[in-house]
């Protein structure tokens, strides 16, 4: 079977969606399928970001590292001056997988046109359709566009819709009227051999809290900084260390809190190969995102046996078992976040046995539900089910 993954921003974002596409494409290739990844070049990314968000889009992933991760999967960069190769690949594929960004729909239409005879298209909902944190201008604009009738028509035109969490499944069915039979719930996966528990000796006995992700508002970096400020007034604060791993627009905010507190530091961007050791060298991970689809920042640490503190929002509620593998708190509640981190600190110190059990349950949770081997079987079945009658489609099965 020929499969094409289409992600306009693959080279620029390098986030959870891109990890999913690179991981799954290489696994499907190992299973004997012919797999392609089609993305846009730097110029197209920069133009898009400049027009939509008035900023240039930094390239987070180098082409060499992408090719190393995807193995024999073919990477095709479609540019304004050369679209022919990408068009040919897409038309010859048995099924196309694309993310649910509006720009990706436009990218696909540019490559395939508006006519018939296209392969079946599976839309992966990796970007939340509805942002609950509507105090941000970006989220307000996003909601207006992604809850529009026009966007609903785009979703309904796909052969199938792949959702990562149960919330999106219900939203797409109830709000947009998409038939239940076209919605496939399949969460992200994690390589449990790479992300596994390790015994790492610590320099001291301080309680170490880790944040991993882009340093941006959607990841709740400012909320975490406020929670740290609250904890700084507690006598326990001197026994806790905070580490930020990532880069982004809020680097100055993080730098300022690092400057104020010697037990807060930022590592900048950390390479994937170093992440398992980083997780294992910390006691918990905090994921204070305002919105998510299905965050690797909750999956990967649990796979390493590290409990997670997160907000009770779509995504984390499907992977973090409250009180068992971590703690879920009221969204955007700074005080609740601070108290949850303090609770985990006290749990390790006062009931080490329960804390160790939570670490074991976190690992078991990922092994049973979210390992790559479990998810790849279901993903392959999804592609086989929706590949259709080899590029002969009509009606609403087309984008």
Q: For residue 223, which of 135, 301, 314, 346 has the smallest C-alpha distance?
A: 135
Residue 195 lies in a domain: no
291/276 same-domain check: yes
Rounded Cα distance, 176 and 84, in Å: 34
pLDDT for 175 beyond 90: yes
The pLDDT score that the predictor gives to residue 399 is 36
In terms of residue numbers, what domain contains 72? Answer: 2-189+372-397
The residue written with tokens 């170490």 in the block is 208
233/269 same-domain check: yes
CATH number of the domain where residue 219 is located: 3.40.50.2000
Residue 198 lies in a domain: no
pLDDT for 232 beyond 90: yes
Rounded Cα distance, 319 and 314, in Å: 10
pLDDT for 80 beyond 80: no
The pLDDT score that the predictor gives to residue 65 is 83
227/341 same-domain check: yes
The pLDDT score that the predictor gives to residue 205 is 86
308/380 same-domain check: no
The pLDDT score that the predictor gives to residue 391 is 43
The pLDDT score that the predictor gives to residue 385 is 93
The pLDDT score that the predictor gives to residue 396 is 34
Which range (20-34, 117-131, 168-182, 372-386) has the least confidence?
117-131
Position 393 confidence tier, pLDDT thresholds 50, 70, 90: very low
125/235 same-domain check: no
The pLDDT score that the predictor gives to residue 50 is 59
Position 116 confidence tier, pLDDT thresholds 50, 70, 90: low
Residue 118 lies in a domain: yes
pLDDT for 52 beyond 60: no
Strand ranges for the chain from DSSP E: 2-6, 34-40, 74-78, 95-99, 121-125, 160-163, 183-185, 207-212, 240-245, 264-266, 284-287, 308-311, 326-329
pLDDT for 308 beyond 50: yes
Number of domains observed in the structure of the chain: 2
Position 81 confidence tier, pLDDT thresholds 50, 70, 90: low
Position 395 confidence tier, pLDDT thresholds 50, 70, 90: very low
The pLDDT score that the predictor gives to residue 114 is 55
Residue 202 lies in a domain: no
The pLDDT score that the predictor gives to residue 390 is 43
pLDDT per position as a tens digit, 122-141? 999 998 898 876 566 778 88
pLDDT for 377 beyond 70: yes
Highest mean pLDDT among 35-49, 59-73, 153-167: 153-167
299/153 same-domain check: no
123/217 same-domain check: no
What is the arithmetic mean of pLDDT over 28-42? 90
What would the two tokens of residue 230 be? 């609250």
């Amino acid at each position: 079977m020929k499969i094409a993954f289409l992600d306009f921003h693959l080279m620029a974002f390098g986030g959870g969606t891109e990890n999913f596409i690179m991981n799954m494409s290489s696994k499907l290739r190992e299973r004997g399928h012919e797999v392609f990844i089609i993305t846009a070049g730097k110029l197209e990314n920069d133009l898009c970001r400049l027009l939509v968000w008035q900023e240039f889009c930094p390239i987070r992933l180098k082409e060499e590292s992408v090719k190393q991760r995807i193995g024999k999967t073919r990477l095709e960069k479609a540019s304004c001056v050369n679209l022919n190769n990408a068009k040919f690949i897409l038309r010859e594929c048995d099924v196309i997988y694309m993310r649910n960004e509006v720009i990706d729909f436009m990218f696909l239409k540019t490559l395939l046109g508006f006519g018939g005879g296209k392969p079946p298209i599976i839309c992966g909902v990796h970007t939340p359709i509805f942002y609950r944190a509507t105090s941000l201008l970006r989220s307000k604009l996003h909601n207006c566009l992604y809850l529009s009738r026009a966007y609903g028509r785009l979703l309904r035109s796909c052969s199938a819709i792949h959702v990562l969490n149960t919330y999106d499944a219900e939203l797409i069915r109830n709000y947009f009227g998409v038939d239940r039979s076209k919605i496939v719930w399949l969460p992200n996966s994690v390589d449990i051999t790479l992300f596994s528990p390790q015994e790492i000796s610590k320099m001291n006995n301080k309680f170490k809290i880790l944040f991993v992700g882009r340093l941006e508002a959607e990841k709740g970096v400012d909320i975490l900084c406020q929670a740290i400020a609250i904890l700084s007034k507690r006598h326990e604060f001197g026994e806790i260390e905070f580490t930020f791993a990532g880069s982004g627009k809020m680097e100055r905010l993080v730098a300022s809190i690092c400057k104020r507190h010697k037990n807060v530091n930022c590592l900048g961007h950390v390479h994937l190969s170093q992440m398992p050791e980083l997780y294992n060298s910390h006691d918990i991970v905090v994921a204070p995102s305002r919105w998510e689809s299905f965050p690797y920042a909750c999956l990967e640490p649990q796979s390493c046996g590290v409990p997670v503190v997160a907000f009770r929002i779509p995504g984390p509620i499907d992977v973090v078992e409250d009180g068992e593998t971590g703690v879920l708190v009221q969204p955007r509640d700074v005080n609740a976040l601070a108290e949850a981190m303090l609770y985990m600190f006290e749990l390790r110190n006062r009931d080490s046995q329960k804390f160790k059990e939570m670490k074991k349950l976190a690992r078991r949770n990922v092994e049973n539900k979210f390992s790559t081997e479990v998810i790849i079987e279901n993903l392959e079945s999804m592609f086989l089910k929706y590949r259709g009658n080899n590029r002969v489609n009509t009606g609403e099965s087309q984008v």
